A = this chain, B = another copy of it.
Amino acid sequence: MPYHSNPLDLAFHALSDPTRRAVVSRLADGEAAVSDLAEPFNMALPSFTQHLKVLEDCGLIASEKRGRSRWCRLVPERFDEAAVWMEAERRRWAGRLDRLEVYLDTKEEEDGRYQESD
Q: In whole angstroms, how far apart are the Cα atoms of A105 and B110 in the complex?
A: 59
Residue A90 at the chain B interface, CB threshold 8 Å: yes
Residues in B with CB closer than 8 Å to A41 are none
- Which of the listed residues A76, A83, A93 has the most CB atoms from chain B within 10 Å of its own CB? A93
B92 A28 Cβ-Cβ under 8 A:
yes
How many interface residues does chain A have, given as a range? 20 to 34
- Contacting pair A74 B93 (CB below 8 A): yes
- Docked pose: A85 CA to B28 CA in angstroms: 12
CA distance A86 to B76 in the complex (A): 11
Contact of A12 among B13, B29, B79, B89 (CB under 8 A): B13
A15 near B12: Cβ-Cβ < 8 Å = yes
Is A96 positioned at the interface, with any CB of B under 8 Å from its CB? yes
Q: Considering the chains assembled together, what is the distance between the CA atoms of A36 and B16 in angstroms?
A: 29
Asked if residues B89 and A79 are in contact (CB atoms below 8 Å), the reply is yes
Residues on A facing B (Cβ under 8 Å):
1, 5-6, 8-13, 15-18, 21, 24-25, 28-30, 74, 76, 79-80, 82-83, 85-87, 89-90, 92-93, 96
Q: What 8 additional pairs, Cβ within 8 angstroms, besides A13-B16, A28-B89, A80-B90?
A: A5-B16, A13-B13, A25-B92, A29-B96, A79-B93, A83-B87, A83-B90, A87-B87
